[in-house]
Amino acid sequence: MPCYAIDGVIPVVSPKAYVHPTAVLIGDVIVEEGAYIGPFAALRADFGGIHIHQNANVQDSCIIHGFPNYVTVVEEFGHIGHGAILHGCRIRKNALIGMNSVILDESDIGENTIIGANSTVKAKAHIPANSLALGSPAQVIRALDEKEMAWKSQGTQQYIELTERCIKTMHEVQPLTVNTSNRLTHESFYVNHTLKPKG
């Protein structure tokens, strides 16, 4: 993975985390055990720190950045959807940030909360625990029910399992030139493993 020190500060990545080779880590970044950092994610801690806690995931093309004297945090089981931007904020335990959402400076997303896709949480906003918030600026719509929180936890568990799969089996290859009948497919993986497709 592209990993850079700045001002002598070197990122820290647990050997039990997975960081995709195209993700970029700069400076005061900490990635704990079980965390997943997806393709083309950029974690740039050249002003303030970035701390990704155990079993959290930061998906494809996410951008995380901060400002001086502040640590941008994704707590345990945090789930950051594709293309989201986090800037100098705190994502509490088991919260989900929807795809392409923007979470701005000093905002605080409560435990178990879901921020809907394409939402913007304005600077210094506090979104309470166990809530669903949507829109730009994001507004709390209602409390989450147990079924929704279970759905979120199931999705995060799949990313924890993906971390393990990537550590064990992902490697760069040359593509095949012909699709043959004996080529492994995602269906063959599901048949042979406990991970089940959605739907």
Residues 40-73 pLDDT 10s = 999 999 999 999 999 999 999 999 998 888 999 9
Q: What is the pLDDT at residue 78?
A: 97
Strand ranges for 53-183 from DSSP E? 57-58, 63-65, 71-74, 79-80, 85-87, 90-91, 96-97, 102-103, 108-109, 114-115, 120-121, 126-127, 131-135, 138-143
Residues 165-193 pLDDT 10s = 999 999 999 999 999 888 888 776 666 65
| Tokens representing residue 174 in the block | 């040359």
The CA distance from 135 to 117, in Å, is: 8
pTM over 0.75: yes
Rg over alpha carbons for the chain, rounded to the nearest Å, is 17
Q: What is the pLDDT at residue 129?
A: 97
Reported confidence tier of residue 75, pLDDT bands at 50, 70, 90: very high
Domains of the chain from N-terminus onward: 3-143 (2.160.10.10)
Residues 92-146 pLDDT 10s = 999 999 999 999 999 999 999 999 999 999 999 999 999 999 999 999 999 999 9
Of 61, 44, 37, 35, give the one whose Cα is nearest residue 5.
Answer: 44
Q: What is the pLDDT at residue 194?
A: 54
